[in-house]
Amino acid sequence: MTPAAAVPAGHGPGRAPAAAPAELLRRLRTRHAVDPVTHVERVPARAGIPAPWPEWVPEELRAALGRRGVVAPWRHQAEAAELAYAGRHVVVATGTASGKSLAYQLPALATLLADPRATVLYLAPTKALAADQLRAVAGLELDGVRPACHDGDTPRAERDWIRQHSRFVLTNPDMLHHGILPGHAHWSGFLRRLAYVIVDECHTYRGVFGSHVAHVLRRLRRQCAKYGRTPGGPTFVLASATSGDPATAAGRLTGLPVTAVTEDASPRGGVTFALWEPPLLPAEPTSSAGPSSVPPLSSASSAVSSSTSAPVPPSTSAPVSPSTSAPASSSTSAPASSVSVPASPSVSAPASPSALPPGVADLTQVRRSALRETADLLADTVAAGVRTLAFVRSRKGAEVVATAARRALDEAVPGLGGRVAAYRAGYLREERRELERALLHGDLLGLASTSALELGVDLVGLEAVLICGWPGTRASLWQQAGRAGRSGGEALAVLVARDDPLDTYLVHHPEALFGRPVEATVLDPANPYVLAPQLACAAAEAPLTPPDLELFGEGAKEAVDELVAAGALRQRPTGWYWRHRERPEVDLRGEGGAPVCVVEASTGRLLGTVDGGSAHFLIHPGAVYLHQGVSYIVDQLDLADGCALVHAEEPDWSTHARDVTSLSVVSVRSYVDAGPVGLFLGEVDVTSQVVSYQRRRIASGEVIDTRPLDLPARELRTVAVWFTLSPQSLALAGVEPADVPGALHAAEHAAIGLLPLMATCDRWDIGGLSTALHPDTEAPTVFVYDGHPGGAGFAERAYRTAAEWLRATRDAIAECGCEAGCPSCVQSPKCGNGNNPLSKPDAVRVLDVVLANLPSDRPPQQPGPADAPDARLEGGR
C-alpha cells in the first residue's frame, strides 16, 4: 500500500478547491492600492507514513473503519494506540487533522468489543467537539457500544438511560464536575468498569481552567479507585495539538506519568499562509477640542495613575461556602476599558506631551479595522465559491463580521448573504447544531466563529481560514489554520492583524511565528484559589483521607488546614468531612458565576446567554447586544436573577463599557534589586467597577456621549509582576518629570500587548496599572497582573522572562512608524483614560533604563521575614 492510499480517521475525500490558494490570495491582494500582505509562508505538502494494524484490533472494528475510508493507521496513531492498549498513559501531540481520534478510538473501542462490561469516558472542552465525536463513533455502528453525549444540553429524560446503558459516554469537564462526580453513587457501575479516560484537546486546559480540570481528574481517579476493579485505575489517553513538552503538561494535568507521541506521520496538504496588515486610512484632521475627543469620566482621568484592566470577577465569599461561588476568574470575552482610581489624589498629572492646543488640527492616521477587513475578505472568498471559516476573538466581533459580510454579498448578489452566518457560545443548542450541519453539508459557504470551532470538529471541505487578530498562542494559530484543507487539499490561511502592538510586531517579524516551537501549556494545580475549593468538592463527595492529600499534591495539607480553620471541614479520626448540607459551588471556567439569560422583553423569547463575568461589560443597561445579525438594546440587567431584558432596535451607534481600577500590594514573593530598577513578583489586590459606557457612531467612531452606570464593584486578589524606577534614573535618561506619567502609561500598554508573546495568554487575560508615584512602592511603577483569582501563571512567566519580554516591548515601540503613538504600539483598546497621557519616545527611554540595569541571568532574590511584605526595596528608589 502506498502512503497516499491511507486516509486519516474521520476524513474522506473532499471536493477540489474553487481556486488555488496562491491565485485566490493574488485576487484578494488587489483589493487595496497598497499591498496589505507583509509575508507569505509556504508550508509544503507532506506524504504520510502508514503502519500495520495492531494485532489486537478486532476484525469488526477494522471493517467499520474501512467503510469510512481508513485502510490503515498512520504510524503515530498505531504507536499511541499500542501504548494505551498496554495500559500506559499516553498523550498524542501532533498537528491539526493528523487523525488523533483514531489513536484513542482503537484501544477504547477494541476493549469495549472484547469486554462487554467495560466502559469509556470521553472529555471534550466544548459541546461542539463532543457532538462531532459522537457522530464519528456512532457512525461506526458497532454492536453494544451505545455511545451517548451527557452534557448540559442532554434532556433529563435521557440521562438515566445514558448512566445505566451507555458504555461510551461523551461529556465535558463541567458536567463531570457538576453532575457525575457529585452523583458518583449513581454512576458506580459505570466507574467500576471504567477502562479508559480520553481527554481530547488537552492543550486547551491551561491557566485557572486547566488547574481546575487537573483536580477534577484527580477527583475522578479517587472515585475510580473506590469503585474500580482495576488496581491502577483507568488508562488515560490524551490528545493535544502540537505543544511544547506535552508529556510534562499532560502529567501535571492528570497527576500521572505520561508518555508522549509527537512524531506526526499523517499526510498534509500544502498551506499558503499570508500575514495581512490592513492599510492605513486617509489622515483626517481632528481638533483637540472637537466632538471626537474622548471626554474624561471623572477627575481620575487626570490622575498620575493610569490603568488597563482585565475584567475582574464579582466579589464573593470564601470559596468553600455552600451555595456561594468560588472566586471566579475573569472572562476574556469582554474587551473592557478602565479609568484608574488615583494613586494619590493630591497629585495630578500634566497633559499628554503630544496634546495640542484647542482648535489646532492633528493629522492622525489609524489602520482599517481588522473586523471590517475580515468581513470584506470573507465576502470576497464566499463570492468566489470558496468555503471559508473566519475566526474572530469575541462573540460581538463574530456577529459584526458575519453581518457585514452578509450585507456586502447581498448588495452584489441578492440572496448570497444567506450563505454566511455567525457561530459562537451563547446560542441555543438547536441553533448550534443547525449551523454545524449547514456548514458540513455546504448550505453555508462562510462562517464567522469564535474559538468554539477551533477544536477538532471535522469540517471537511473548508478551503480557506481567516484569523482576525493574533489568537494568543502559536498553538491556537496553527490549530485554527488547520481547519482548512483537512481533506488533504491545498488551503489558504490569512492572519489579519489588529491595530495592536503584538499583531503589528508579528506581521513584521514572521520569524516569531514560523519555524519556532509552539508554547508549553501553563497550569498550576497548586494555586490555593483552585486547590481549596476543589478539596472542598472532593470532601463533599466523600471524606478526605491522608492518601487523598497525596493524590491532590503540593499544598493540599495546608489547604485542608485552612478549610478546617474556616469551618468548612471537620476533622475526625477517619478523615476530613464537609460540614454543610449544600455542595460548594465552584466555577471551573472562571466566568464569574452563572450565565445571565438574555430575554426579549416583548415576547419572553430566550435569545441566548452571557457568562456572569462578562455581563457587566456586554449587557449592562443601554448596551447594544447582537444575535445572528439582529441588534437589541438592553433595557434592564438583573444580576440577582441572572436575566437581561432587551428590545430589538437598529441604532447607528455601538456601546463600550468603561471601568475604574485600583491596586494595592499585598506581599512580595521574589525580587531583583538592579540598582535604580527593581523587578518584583507578588500578590496584589485589584478592585474594579464598571462605571459608565460610551456610545460611538458606527460609521466614524465619534464619541456621542458617556453615560453613567451603577453596577457593583468586583474585587480580585491575584499575582502581579511590576518594575520600579528611581526618579533620578528617569531624569538622566531625558524623561522630564512632567512626562513620566505618559512614559509609564505607554510602556504599560505595550508591555501588556507583548506579554502573550512569552506566556500562553492574551491581553484580555491580563491587566495593568502605571503611576508616577504608587503609595506601596513610593516610586514610578508599572504593574501587570493576572486577571484570575490567585493568578494563572502569566505574571510568573513575565517575571522569569522579563528581559526578553521588555526587549520585545521596547523594539515594538521603537520600530513602529508612527510619530506620537498609535494602536500598533502604545495605544490600548482597553484604556479607560482615553489613551491619555501617552508619550511614545519617553516609553522607549523608560524601557532603555530598565533593560540597561536588569540583568538577564541574575537569579531572583527571595524576601526575608523582615522585608517580605514590603515592596519598597532599594531598587527603583
DSSP 833-867: T-S-S--HHHHHHHHHHHHHHS-SSPPPBPP-TTT
The residue whose grid cell reads 423569547 is 605
DSSP per position, 127-165: HHHHHHHHHHHHTT--TTT-EEE-STTS-HHHHHHHHHH
| pLDDT digit string, tens, across residues 480-518 | 888 887 666 789 999 999 877 778 888 988 988 887 777
Judged against a pLDDT cut of 80, whether residue 228 lies above it is answered with no
Whether residue 837 is preceded by a cis peptide bond, meaning omega within 30 degrees of 0, is yes
Residue 861 pLDDT level (bands cut at 50, 70, 90) = low
Bridge-partner residues for 694, per DSSP?
A: 656, 706
Average pLDDT over residues 52-69: 95
Q: Does residue 162 surpass a pLDDT of 90?
A: yes
pLDDT tens per residue across span 320-362: 444 333 333 333 333 333 223 223 222 223 333 333 443 333 4
Rounded distance between C-alpha atoms, residue 568 and residue 324, angstroms: 12
Tell me the pLDDT band of 741, cut-offs 50, 70 and 90. Answer: very high
Residue 226 confidence class, pLDDT cut points 50, 70, 90: very high
Residues pairing with 647 in the sheet: 633
Cell of 561: 488546614
Query: Do the Cβ atoms of 466 and 389 come closer than 8 Å?
Result: yes
State whether residue 800 is helix, strand or coil. Answer: helix
Strand partners, 322: 584
Give the pTM.
0.72
Task: Give the tens place of pLDDT for each residue, 119-135.
Answer: 999 999 988 789 889 99
679 against 694, higher pLDDT: 679
Question: pLDDT of 454-466, one tens digit each?
Answer: 665 566 668 899 9
Q: In this structure, which amino acid lies at residue 525? A: P
Residues 3-9 have a mean pLDDT of 32
Percent share of the chain, pLDDT over 90: 53
Q: Please say if the pLDDT value at position 283 is more than 50.
A: yes
The dihedrals phi and psi of 505, each to the nearest 5 degrees, come to -60, -45
What average pLDDT is seen over the chain?
82
For residue 674, is pLDDT > 80?
A: yes
Q: Closest by alpha carbon to 562, among 537, 587, 525, 532? A: 532
Q: In terms of pLDDT, which residue wins out, 459 or 622?
A: 622
Residue 444, C-beta contacts closer than 8 angstroms, at least 6 positions apart: 419, 420, 421, 435, 438
Q: Distance between CA 253 and CA 243 in Å, rounded?
A: 14
Residue 526: all three cell numbers together = 497548586
Question: What is the tens place of the pLDDT at every residue in 356-400?
Answer: 443 333 444 578 889 999 999 999 999 999 999 999 988 888 888
Q: Are 312 and 686 in contact (CB under 8 A)?
A: yes
Q: DSSP letter string over 273-308?
A: EEEE-PPBPPPEEEETTSTTSPPPSSGGGGBSEEEE
How many Å apart are CA 275 and CA 477, to the nearest integer?
A: 12
Q: What's residue 862's pLDDT?
A: 55
pLDDT at 423 over 80: yes
CA angle 736-658-741, nearest 5°?
Answer: 5
Q: What is the mean pLDDT of residues 300-320?
A: 46
For residue 4, pLDDT beyond 90: no
Q: pLDDT for 816-835, tens place per residue?
A: 888 888 777 888 766 766 67
Q: Is the pLDDT of residue 435 over 60?
A: yes
Higher pLDDT, 318 or 137: 137
175: cell is: 458536567
> Per mean pLDDT, which range of 155-169, 585-599, 782-796 is the poorest?
585-599
Percentages (nearest 5) of helix, strand, coil residues in the chain? 35, 25, 45
Closest CA to 487 of 759, 652, 266: 266
CB 130 within 8 A of CB 138: no
* Weakest mean pLDDT among 119-123, 150-154, 228-232, 686-690: 228-232
Give the whole-angstrom CA distance, residue 596 versus residue 472. 27
β pairing state of 630-638 and 624-627: antiparallel
The residue assigned the cell 503502519 is 51
Q: Which amino acid is at 320?
A: V
Q: Grid coordinates representing 811? A: 523594539
Mutual angle of helices 370-383 and 395-412, in 10-degree steps: 40
For the segment 194-204, what is each residue's pLDDT rounded down to a tens digit?
Answer: 999 999 989 88
Identify whether the C-beta of residue 459 lies closer than 8 Å to the C-beta of residue 445. Answer: no
Task: Say what angle helices 100-114 and 127-138 make with each other, to 10 degrees.
Answer: 50
